[in-house]
Structure 1
Amino acid sequence: MTEKKFWKECFSWLFVLATGIAFAFIIKQYVFSPIIVNGASMFPTYEDKDVIIVSKISEIERFDHVVFKAPYEDEYYIKRVIGLPGDTIEMKDDVLIINGKEYEEPYVNRTSELNLRVTEDFTLEELTGEKTVPEGSLFVLGDNRLKSFDSRHFGLIPIDDVYGESKIRIFPLQNIKVFYHPYE
C-alpha cells in the first residue's frame, strides 16, 4: 500500500467514526436516551437500578411513565401520568377517579411491609388548589403509593419539565420489557 492510499484509508475510517459519534450524540440528545431508575417509587413496574430507554419525541398520554426534572432536587424522577390538562382527579376509598370515571389500577402497590393497606383519599383541589389540571401541567403518581414522593406532595409538574416517556426496560436482561399503553 502506498503512503497516499494509507492516509486516504485513515481519513476514511476517521470520517466514519466521527459521523457515527455525531449521529449517536444527536439521537441521544433529541430522540431517545438511557436512564437508570433510582429508588422504589415505581415498584412493581420498575425496580431500583433498572435501565430504561426514554423517548424524547413521544406524545404524553394518561398512564404513560414519564421521566421529569425533580421539583426540588437536581435529579430526575419517573412517575405515571394520572392527570392531563383539563382533568379532575380524586382518590376515594382506594379508587382513582378521573373526570368522574373510576379506574382500576392493577399496576399499583398499595401494601406496606406489614401487609397493611394504607391509602389516603384526596381531590386535586385539596392537594393543589386547582379544580382541574391546568394547561401546561401534569399530575403524576408513583406506582408504589406508600413510598412515592409525587404530585400528592409537590403538586403539578410542568409539561416542559418532562424529559421523556419510558418505552423499554433493557436491564436487567431477564426483565427486558417493552411498555405499551394503557396498562402493562
Structure 2
Amino acid sequence: MKEREELLDSEELEELNENDGQKLKIKDVIKVLIIVVAIVLLIGFFVKPIIVEGASMNPTLQDDDYLLISRQSYTFGEPERGDIIVFPHHESTEDSLYIKRVIAIPGDHLEIHDGNVYINGELQYEDYIKSGAITEGYVNLVIPEGQVFVMGDNRENSSDSRYFGTVNIEEVTGEVFVRLWPLSEIGRP
C-alpha cells in the first residue's frame, strides 16, 4: 500500500511538474513578446526606413534604394556639410520627403556662379556629383542661424535650396546612415 501511495505521489508530482512547465513556457513566451515589442518601439523611435524615389541624388543614391535614417542624429548637434538629410516636402499634398545633401550650414557664405560652388570664398571639390555636371544658378547668401542649404547630387535634375530656399534644421526628419538595398551597395552612402 505504501508503494501505491508513493506511486500516486510521484504521478501527481509528475502532473504538477508538467503544469508548472506549461505555465513556465507561457510566461517565457509573454516575456519574449514584451521584449520584442519594446525593441520594435525603441528602434522605431530612433530609426526610420525610407525608399528613394527619383533621380535627384544620383549617382550617390538610386531610385528604389532602401535606406535607414537616424531620427536622433541632430538631437545634440546640427547637420554638417556633406550629411545626407531627409525633410518634409512642403510643396506636396502628400506626406512626401526630400533627400538632399547639406552644402552649407549656419554662418557659411555660399556662392554659386559659373557652374561652381564656393563656401566662405573657397571653391568646393564635390566628388559625389556626376562627372562633368555643373551647378546651375546664381546664389550669394550667408546661411541664417537654424537653417541649412541643401542640393541633390544630380545637380541638373534636382529641386533643392536653389529653388525653394534654405531648410529649417528643426524640420529635418533625420540623417541617412545606411543603405540596405540593393545588397551590392549595402553600407553608408
Under a length normalisation based on structure 2, what TM-score does the superposition of the two structures give?
0.81
Q: 1:64 aligns with which of 83, 99, 103?
A: 83
- Is residue 115–residue 137 contact of structure 2 (8 Å, CA) maintained in 1? yes
Higher helix proportion: 2
Question: Which residue, out of 52, 55, 64, partners 1:40?
Answer: 55
Judge conservation of contact 1:71–1:154 (CA < 8 Å) in 2.
no
Q: Residues 169-180 of structure 1 correspond to what in structure 2 (within 5 A)?
A: 169-179=179-189
State the shift of 1:118 in Å.
5.8
- Measure, in 2, the Cα distance between the counterparts of 1:38 and 1:11: 44
The TM-score normalised by the length of structure 1 is: 0.83
- SS of the equivalent of 1:2 reads helix
How many angstroms does 1:32 deviate by? 2.0
Paired amino acid for 2:89:
A
How far has the Cα of 1:26 moved from its partner? 1.5
- CA contact 2:149–2:165 (8 Å) conserved in 1: yes
- Matched-pair identity in %: 39
Runs (4 or more) in structure 1 with deviation over 6 Å come to: none
For the aligned residues, what is the CA RMSD? 1.8
- The residue type equivalent to 2:86 in the other structure is V
Name the amino acid aligned to 1:18.
Answer: I
Q: Distance in 2 between matches of 1:55 and 1:28?
A: 10
Larger Rg: 2
Structure 2 unaligned residues grouped into runs of 5+: 1-16
Extract unaligned runs of 5+ from structure 1: 112-116, 125-130, 180-184
Tell me the secondary structure at the aligned position of residue 33 of structure 2. Answer: helix
- Equivalenced residues, count: 167
